[in-house]
């Protein structure tokens, strides 16, 4: 879960992206002397006033922004909107303060006086923005049953006692005959929850018609039978990726076997049933229609295709080129999994997909933390592809994949350890060592995202936030490009090989020296960040290159950076050199779990430790980039 500061940063990024196009800088006489920072905070305050209406009334961003009334003579009312459907007149006061401070008593009293003037119809006291909404305001005031809801929107958790007393007194004043006025605080947690909820995939309810169908009722309800390819294609076209939300992969496009599926369903529709494995879906509820035994229509609640995304996607793609014959049919199995937190849906997904060729990264999609990261990043306009798909193959500045995130985390999120702690576990607690991670990234990158492996959970921790992983991916891309460009520019073979094979190792040391930049709660790298990182990359690369000369002559750079027995001693010599140049007396150990000063390692202990780290592991690997 993101920290409080990370939530603030995510909210700020979302407000900028969504509302700044609707909320320009206000140029009034009283604000002519404002600094750019003051204008920026003012725009964020008005944006949060607008977003509180989005969250409360489910209106679109443009409509919410048009309800902003903030400005001179606003009576302390930053936003005003009549929710006709629910008979509510919403009055918002908003403050964007990164500290989380709620509106002060003075600010709230101004709003209270403004509310009293508004409800007394003293409209002449207000600015043009409120004057422009008089028809709406008078409609609300004249309609019996309208409730007034006062909202304090801010980035904290609670308002002060004096503000609470003043607002409670206002409520008492207006609720003598009937309860017509109430107030609420819309704070950090609620605003963040609204933003996350917007990215939650919609539950799908669909109907399918099956022929030659049968069912089972114990231990779970399930149906299976033939569905026409044309009706399946219609479902995919209607619901898109949401139909595969519990699958490990989305449609990968017209590649490999998918092209063959498209060809078969069009050219040999009558044989398609015999040549295809069919698909599996889960649903929280299966309800049959009344009528004859065959065919039969079923309503599926919260349905998701958990195996067969490639088949379904290929059929839908074929349908775009022209009508598919009704002779094209395939087998579908639908298993009822209920609405509870039962893990049967995940078990079905994993078991059914194990019958096909899949990679370790595919099953990482079953980790619920990955979906939380996706939603968090989607809030701020970044697409996170933790399921393989056709779209994931296109590299974009505002998108990245799980594989790229894993490599970035391996290079940028771990401390550099020394001594025996760098080679093995201490007691029952795992010690994360950056050098071990970058060696594995270089040698067996697929181990980083094996969900059942020992490394995945150390990278993708439960408290990892979207803003943090996004920043590390940006750092990884930036430094990787610097090192790639440097490799290209080298004329000496030895230096080219160093910059080719030592990228991950170099990044670990740049990260070691750049906690100040890594830990900022900002999505983008500032020009100052880029300049500092560029300088550190150059300095670290040259230092590491100088320290690695002896090892490279003996084994070559590829071997050095693929083996912990070479890479860890190199790392320790680099740390000694760094400390020497900085005038330090002892080599530091990065990270929160610094080991005790290392005693000399007995040959048997070192051998055992290295064997445990470097033992070959049979895993599903990918053909991803391995610099």
Residue 584 has pLDDT above 80, yes or no: no
Residue 304 has pLDDT above 80, yes or no: yes
CATH classification number, 4-198, choose in 3.90.550, 3.40.50, 3.30.310, 3.40.91: 3.40.91
Which own/partner contact pairs does 564-568 have at CB distance under 8 Å and 24+ positions apart? 564/423, 564/435, 564/436, 564/439, 564/610, 564/613, 564/614, 565/610, 565/614, 567/435, 567/438, 567/439, 567/505, 568/422, 568/423, 568/435, 568/436
More confident of the two residues 164 and 584: 164
* E-strand stretches of 289-440: 296-301, 304-307, 329-336, 383-385, 399-401
Two structure tokens written together for 361: 């990264």
Q: How confident is the model at residue 343 (pLDDT cuts 50, 70, 90)?
A: low
CA distances from 362 to 127, 301, 386, 446, 470 (A): 57, 25, 8, 11, 20
Find the DSSP H helices in 268-367: 272-275, 309-320, 344-353, 360-363
Residue identified by tokens 């890594």 is 518
More confident of the two residues 350 and 552: 552
Q: What is the pLDDT at residue 156? A: 93
pLDDT tens figures, 467-518:
999 999 999 999 999 999 999 999 999 999 999 999 999 999 999 999 999 9
Residue 292 has pLDDT above 60, yes or no: yes
Q: Kindly report the number of other CB atoms within 10 A of residue 606's CB atom.
A: 15
Are 147 and 180 spatial neighbours (Cβ–Cβ below 8 Å)? yes
Residue 154 has pLDDT above 80, yes or no: yes
Q: What is the pLDDT at residue 34? A: 87
Cα-Cα-Cα-Cα dihedral sign, residues 444, 448, 450, 453: positive
More confident of the two residues 268 and 167: 167
Residue 613 has pLDDT above 90, yes or no: no
Find the DSSP H helices in 187-255: 188-198, 229-239
Query: What's the pTM value of the predicted model, to 2 decimals?
Result: 0.67
Please state, rounded to an integer, the average pLDDT across all residues of the chain.
82
Segment 436-441 shows an average pLDDT of 93
What does R_g of the chain's alpha carbons equal in angstroms?
A: 30
Q: What is the pLDDT at residue 590? A: 40
pLDDT tens figures, 235-261:
888 887 778 765 534 344 444 445 777
Report the share of the chain in percent with pLDDT over 90.
Answer: 52
Q: What is the pLDDT at residue 389? A: 62
Residue 340 has pLDDT above 50, yes or no: yes
Residue 203 has pLDDT above 50, yes or no: yes
- What distance in Å separates the CA atoms of residue 164 and residue 185, rounded to the nearest whole number? 10
DSSP class per residue in 85-138 = GGTEEEEEEE---TT-PPPPHHHHHHHHHHHHHHHTT-GGGS-HHHHTTHHHHH
Q: How confident is the model at residue 428 (pLDDT cuts 50, 70, 90)?
A: very low
Segment 153-172 shows an average pLDDT of 94
Q: What is the pLDDT at residue 405? A: 94
Residue 598 has pLDDT above 60, yes or no: no
Two structure tokens written together for 214: 């049968």
Q: Report phi then psi at 92, rounded to 5.
A: -120, 135
Q: What is the pLDDT at residue 581? A: 76
What residue ranges of the chain are covered by domains with CATH 3.40.91?
A: 4-198
Are 224 and 332 spatial neighbours (Cβ–Cβ below 8 Å)? yes
């Amino acid at each position: 879960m993101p920290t409080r500061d990370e939530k603030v940063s995510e909210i700020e990024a979302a407000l900028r992206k969504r509302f700044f196009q609707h909320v320009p800088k206000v140029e009034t006489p009283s604000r002519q002397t404002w600094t750019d920072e003051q204008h920026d905070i003012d725009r964020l305050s008005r944006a949060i006033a607008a977003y509180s209406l989005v969250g409360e009334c489910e209106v679109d961003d443009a409509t919410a922004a048009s309800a902003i009334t903030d400005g001179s003579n606003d009576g302390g009312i930053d936003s005003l909107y009549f929710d006709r459907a629910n008979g509510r007149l919403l009055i918002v006061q908003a403050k964007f303060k990164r500290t989380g401070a709620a509106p002060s008593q003075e600010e709230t009293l101004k709003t209270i006086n403004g509310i009293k003037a508004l409800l007394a119809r003293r409209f002449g006291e207000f600015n043009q923005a409120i004057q422009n909404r008089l028809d709406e305001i008078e409609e609300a005031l004249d309609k019996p049953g309208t409730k007034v809801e006062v909202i304090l929107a801010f980035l904290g958790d609670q308002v002060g006692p004096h503000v609470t007393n003043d607002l409670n007194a206002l409520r008492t004043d207006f609720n003598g005959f009937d309860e017509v006025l109430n107030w609420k605080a819309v704070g950090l947690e609620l605003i963040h929850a609204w933003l996350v909820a917007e990215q939650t995939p919609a539950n799908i309810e669909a109907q399918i018609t099956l022929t030659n169908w049968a069912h089972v009722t114990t231990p779970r309800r399930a149906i299976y039978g033939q569905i026409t390819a044309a009706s399946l294609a219609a479902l995919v076209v209607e619901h898109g990726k949401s139909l595969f939300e519990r699958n490990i992969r989305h449609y990968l496009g017209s590649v490999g076997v998918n092209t063959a599926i498209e060809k078969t369903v069009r050219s040999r529709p009558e044989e398609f049933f015999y040549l295809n494995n069919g698909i599996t879906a889960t649903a929280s509820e299966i309800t049959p229609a009344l009528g004859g035994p065959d065919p039969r229509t079923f309503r599926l609640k919260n349905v998701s295709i958990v195996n067969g995304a490639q088949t379904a996607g290929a059929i839908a793609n074929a349908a775009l080129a022209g009508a598919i014959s009704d002779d094209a049919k395939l087998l579908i199995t639908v298993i009822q999994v209920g609405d509870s937190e039962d893990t049967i849906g995940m078990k079905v997904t994993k078991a059914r997909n194990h019958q096909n060729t899949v990679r370790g990264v595919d099953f990482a999609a079953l980790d619920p933390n990955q979906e939380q990261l996706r939603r968090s990043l989607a809030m701020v306009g970044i697409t996170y592809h933790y399921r393989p798909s056709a779209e994931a193959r296109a590299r974009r500045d505002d998108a990245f994949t799980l594989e790229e995130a894993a490599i970035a985390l391996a290079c940028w999120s771990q401390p550099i350890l020394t001594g025996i702690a760098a080679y093995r576990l201490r007691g029952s607690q795992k010690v994360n060592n950056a050098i071990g991670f970058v060696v594995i990234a270089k040698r067996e990158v697929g181990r980083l995202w094996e969900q059942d492996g020992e490394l995945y959970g150390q990278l993708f921790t439960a408290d990892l936030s979207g803003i943090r992983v996004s920043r590390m991916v940006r750092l990884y891309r930036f430094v990787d490009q610097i090192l790639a460009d440097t490799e290209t520019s080298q004329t000496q073979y030895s230096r080219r090989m160093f910059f080719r094979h030592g990228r991950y190792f170099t990044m670990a040391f740049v990260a070691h020296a750049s906690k100040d930049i890594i830990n900022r709660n900002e999505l983008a790298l500032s020009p100052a960040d880029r300049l500092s990182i560029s300088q550190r990359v150059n300095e670290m690369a040259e230092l590491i290159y100088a320290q690695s000369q002896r090892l490279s002559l003996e084994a070559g750079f590829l071997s050095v950076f693929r083996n912990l027995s070479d890479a860890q001693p190199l790392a320790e010599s680099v740390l000694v050199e760094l400390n020497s140049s900085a005038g330090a007396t002892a080599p530091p150990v990065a990270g929160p779990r610094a080991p005790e000063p290392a005693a000399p390692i007995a040959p048997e202990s070192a051998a055992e430790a290295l064997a445990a780290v470097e033992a070959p592991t049979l895993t599903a690997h990918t053909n991803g980039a391995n610099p």
